[in-house]
Amino acid sequence: MTISRRLMTATIAALLAVPVAATAQPGGAAKPTAERPIFLLDQIRSGPVPGKLMPALQPLKKLEQIEALLKANGVAYRRGVGMMDSRRAPANLVQVVTSLPPGEVFVLPENGGASFNQILRLISPAEAASIAKAATPAPARAPKT
């Protein structure tokens, strides 16, 4: 990953663009389909990233490097596993993401901050539901008296 202005601009433009009718498939080819993949992501979600850090972020190629830079500069962040459902994401964004080389990190604006993402693999909706269920804490139970 090089967090280039071109990639950031393309990603933001894809988010704002009107989705196309085609669905992007892994490898970048756009084909219409009823089933679209869910991306399992290694993800860093940060609070607002100061503009002065942008030049330092641009040459970084790994999430570990991004995490170290955020930590060293006191930027709040959380690292974990995330998912991006390509059925709900704008088709243009899915095309941009699936056209990236394997292992490439991509950045999305998120609630005033940023989401730094790397695709781990594609998963089925059933597997995504299983992962989400496992990550959801059990409801609190009232203590027995």
H-helix or E-strand containing 30? strand 30-31
Paired strand residues for 40: 83, 121
Q: Which residues of the chain have pLDDT under 50?
A: 1-2, 4-34
Record the pTM. 0.69
H-helix or E-strand containing 113? strand 113-123
Per the document, the length of the chain is: 145
117-142 pLDDT, tens per residue? 999 999 988 888 888 888 777 666 65
Domain coordinates of the chain in residue numbers?
1-13+43-124
Question: How far is Cα 52 from Cα 9, in angstroms, rounded to an integer?
Answer: 18
